[in-house]
Structure 1
Amino acid sequence: MYINNQLKTAPAPHLSTDNPYANYSDSALIKHLENNFERFADPRNRHQFVTRHSLTEVAQRDKDSPGYNKQDADFAKTLLSKEELLTVITDHKRPAKHADGVFIGHSDTVIFNAYNDKRQSQQKPSH
């Protein structure tokens, strides 16, 4: 049996306590979006899509407004900061450029998560 007795000198990753979503994986972020889609959906599009506009509205909502929710605001800020993830999840729609830049349908989150779940199960070593 091999035991690795070398010290790990790399600094431990800093976990954010202010915004817990900053520590979520891409897959966990999209699962959260899938499970809470209606809270981030754009009313300008009959709540059928999450857009950059709807995410920004949630992220920048005033703390004193009736619709304010810190967890939703933190999540929206985190998702907006993940440009690559937003591109990947909407990549199959790239030919249809939208002024808002991001149009995520509920089916996109389901497809993305199904693909990620399948990929992760294939990467696990079998015993």
Structure 2
Amino acid sequence: MLGKTASRHTSEQFVAFLTDVVASQPKRREIHVICDNVSSHKTQRVADFLTAHRNVRLHFTPTYSSWLNQVENWFSRIQRDVIARGVFTSVKDLDRKLMRYIRERNQNPKPIKWKYDDPSRRIRPVPSQ
């Protein structure tokens, strides 16, 4: 897992993150990034980065379907394991603890297995009376 903290989620910071991802991979390896539909993922700056890095492809999840984006699962784990139980003396302290959590998880990585195989559990509208 590659992680990076930022005070705001701008296209400039997103491109900086993508640059780190590219630098961490062998040259010309195909890189596929699953993104939500936030506007900072769809700016001209991002388009320019993608033009310069033809091996990087962005894939966008459908609107209102965050459960399809496995990063949301990861964020949920961070919320539960780090943020909800944490005591932070500063933003820098929070940053350090988040990055330590990522490093520790990377020492013993486990894939997230996600499946949806019970259509009977889907949310259905309640019939009118």
TM-score (norm 1): 0.28
TM-score (norm 2): 0.27
The structure richer in helix per residue is: 1
